[in-house]
Amino acid sequence: AQSVTQLDSQVPVFEEAPVELRCNYSSSVSVYLFWYVQYPNQGLQLLLKYLSGSTLVKGINGFEAEFNKSQTSFHLRKPSVHISDTAEYFCAVSDQSGNEKLTFGTGTRLTIIP
Amino acid sequence: DTAVSQTPKYLVTQMGNDKSIKCEQNLGHDTMYWYKQDSKKFLKIMFSYNNKELIINETVPNRFSPKSPDKAHLNLHINSLELGDSAVYFCASSRGGRTQYFGPGTRLTVL
């Protein structure tokens, strides 16, 4: 079984400042890692994913994340945020053994301050 | 073109009623899922179907019954609705079980 911890439930950031949203996971098997974004009153949109290969992955809207196996982390970063980045961000994992369900973290609400 | 669609978007109903939520995907995926997002925004898997066969059933009350008439559709039927069933229900689909794409969600309110 896997678990995901998003350490920060809320992150306020000034516009054009950098941001990092933290995600740590626990699993006894190898995993795939994902970040999803949920804008207010909308569905979940895939931001980026790590399946294999380079540990630094780039996603949409200028976001990137780095897979760190030794620290079991998959932190999300953006060098300069915009008002439009205000949303809820979810980190999720699925195992590579064939059980395809996504296990989600509790989410981080990113609020951009003008 | 909508990839994963759900109907209805909003559903308001009385306790004890039976209701259905429909999901359709036009991505050619072979696996579909239902997730529940509670009032605290926590997301949890409910069911998963692969090629119309149930493969995941996560301790969901048997008042909830998924039905997959074909690979492109996965419907969720709920009997005897309870207050605690109020939530946002998301449908998702994937090919080969790796990357899941989500629908817009159905907000269910039970009065």
Token pair of B94 as six digits? 């994937």
Q: Which residues in A66-89 are b (16+ Cβ under 10 Å) and which e?
A: ebeeeebbbbbebeebeeebbbbb
**pLDDT per residue as tens digits for the range B90-101:** 999 998 768 899
The C-alpha atoms of residue B61 and residue A28 are separated, in whole angstroms, by 28
How far are the Cα atoms of A55, B11, B33, B59 from residue B86, in angstroms, in the given order?
A: 39, 10, 19, 17
Q: Which residue has the tokens 């239902």?
A: B34
Q: What percent of chain A has pLDDT over 90?
A: 83
**Which pLDDT does position B56 carry in this prediction?**
84
Nearest CA in chain A to B57: A101
CB neighbours of B49 closer than 8 A, spacing ≥ 6?
B31, B32, B33, B55, B66, B68, B74
Q: Is residue A85 over pLDDT 90?
A: yes
Q: Is residue A4 over pLDDT 90?
A: yes
**pLDDT per residue as tens digits for the range B63-87:** 999 999 998 999 999 999 999 999 9
Dihedrals φ, ψ of A60, to 5°?
-80, 165
Minimal CA–CA distance to A77: which of A11, A5, A2? A11
Q: Is residue A97 over pLDDT 80?
A: no
Q: Please answer yes or no on whether A101 and B48 come within 8 Å at the CB atom.
A: yes
The three-class DSSP label of residue B16 is coil
Would you tell me which residues 41-100 of chain A have a C-beta closer than 8 angstroms to some C-beta of chain B? 42-46, 49, 51, 88, 90, 92, 94, 98-100
**Which pLDDT does position A41 carry in this prediction?**
84
Q: Please answer yes or no on whether B105 and A51 come within 8 Å at the CB atom.
A: no
CB neighbours of B66 closer than 8 A, spacing ≥ 6?
B34, B46, B47, B49, B54, B74, B75, B76, B77
**pLDDT per residue as tens digits for the range A22-63:** 999 999 888 999 999 999 888 999 999 999 899 999 999 999
The C-alpha atoms of residue A87 and residue A1 are separated, in whole angstroms, by 28
Q: Is residue B88 over pLDDT 70?
A: yes
Dihedrals φ, ψ of A21, to 5°?
-110, 125
The C-alpha atoms of residue B89 and residue B87 are separated, in whole angstroms, by 6
**pLDDT per residue as tens digits for the range B7-57:** 999 999 999 999 999 999 999 999 999 999 999 999 999 999 888 888 888
Q: Please answer yes or no on whether A100 and B44 come within 8 Å at the CB atom.
A: no
Q: Is residue B58 over pLDDT 80?
A: yes
Q: Is residue B2 over pLDDT 70?
A: no
Amino acid at B28: G
The C-alpha atoms of residue B107 and residue A35 are separated, in whole angstroms, by 22
Confidence band for A98, pLDDT divided at 50, 70 and 90: low
On whether any CB of chain A is under 8 Å from the CB of B94, the answer is: yes
Interface A-B, measured as beta-carbon pairs within 8 A, has a size of 59
How far are the Cα atoms of A92, B22, B99 from residue B30, in angstroms, in the given order?
A: 21, 17, 12
Please provide the average confidence, as pLDDT, over all residues in chain A: 94
Confidence band for B104, pLDDT divided at 50, 70 and 90: very high
> What distance in Å separates residue A52's CA from the closest CA in chain B?
11
Confidence band for A74, pLDDT divided at 50, 70 and 90: very high
